[in-house]
Structure 1
Amino acid sequence: MIKTNDKKKGFTLAELLVVVAIIAVLVAVSIPIFTSQLDKARASTDAANVRSAKGAATTDYLSNGYEGTTVTYYYDAANGKVTTDLTAAKAFDVYGKSTKDIDLDKATGIPKDQIVSITISESGTTAAWALGKSTSGDATGDSEDNDTVAALKKLAGLTWDDIKAAVTGDSGASLAHGTLVKDGDKIYLVFGYQNNYGKKEATSMADLVAKYPQFIEEVTNSTPVISESSMKSGSNAGITIKGGSITYYDGVYYSAAQDIIYGNGEKEDPTQTGRWFQIK
């Protein structure tokens, strides 16, 4: 009788472990590459929308004879058109993808769940990501707090109740550059300076904003945020940074006290200039 060997050969445990280890290494290497490429794709999409917004806004500005005036446009990526109607803009579908400020699109702010706002004036053209939608789906200018708004709410040392008596007194009150004031669930920034705010003419921080918009603003997700990298690299050349814009520089928040136009390659350390003041 002929005997046959019925045993079937297979992989040993050691061989299986080697294969699993190789697969794990390949996955560990490929995930960061995939994530990086995805981030680049999102940034490219956002940059393309900014360029389209600038083109549409410039065309409308010139064709309608707005030269010499300041006009703010809001871009609707769904149809490639712009509008100056803020109410209509709040209903646009948001299309920003990037979760961090990107330098290549020359637009301030974080694109994620925002639309592009373009302001054209005699001093030039600026772009900003703005008007994000709230988590409930309602279009508002006050979407769920982004990192900057949330951080400033925690940083604020004053409330409206703290300053109300002084502001509503006979002489009003002086508030320094960079002062943060909470009023209810909102946060306000004094980015400019003037003596004697108020003088019995204000009953809330919102009243002060209405009276002194060139000095005080409510900080929302649409407030321009200038990236630290663009400040240090000088990539802000040729654009106007609006007064009240915010930057996070070397671990500290600063606000622009005035409109700033940067020259070619001009870098700025906000700790060494009178154009930016620490927020506190």
Structure 2
Amino acid sequence: MFIRKSAVLIYAVLILVPLLMVVLTSMKTLEQTFDNPLGIPVDGLIIDNFINIFQEQTMAGYFVNSSVVTLSSVSLTLFFAAMIAFGITRLNNWKGNVLFALFTVGMMVPPQVNMVPLYSLVLDLGLTNSLLGLILVNIASTLPVGVFILTGFMKTLPKELFEASTIDGAGNWRIFSKVVIPLSLPSLSATAIFLFVMHWNDLLFPLLFITDNAYKTLPLALLDFQGQYSTNYPMLFTGVLIASIPMVIMYIFLQRYFVAGMTSGTVKG
């Protein structure tokens, strides 16, 4: 018991100390950061950096871009992944197993491997420097993850539910929308949190496809605070804190579904 508590305490310190440093640095000036990087702000806690980052750095526009890309990508990925998972579950034969295996293989290919052909494809479609291009690429890259998680859950649903619904005259779409989706809310919520974090923090695809400032997302915009010879750490950490707020809020509202959703497909019902 003592060892377990000690391990938890050490883990908490490793998480809280860097977080505290980020918060304190975001409330300092650049001079204060270099003069006393580990200390508290000399003039007390200030919020000038949070005001300046929106007034001088057009951070509001980057925030909107990230919100549009992330919410669209998560919503559409969940929709398509749920339908595919339902189809795999309904097939329940070798065809479903092959389809599931294809999506599982898709999880094994890292996005970095496909950067050159993916950029060529997006360029040929005329979707570079557009939020639509980012959304489509995000859906394609994370759809296998959504299918994998949701299929594991839907396979635990009793087959008697589908049979009873079919006897009552319900078609596949009605079974999907009225039976499967309500029962899958915990798994959908857990998947939504997982996808939200992936898309919101994504830097690779915006860095690859976006060069116009008007379409930058938050992670890409934060690179502006890093120069070749110096980095504006107070403004950078302020941006990091602002970028973290949506993830914290989403987890707070969906946390009761998270553990249940992530473990629901690990055992047979």
Normalised by the size of structure 2, how large is the TM-score? 0.26
The structure richer in helix per residue is 2
Task: Answer 1 or 2: which has greater strand percent.
Answer: 1
**Larger Rg, first or second structure (1 or 2):** 1
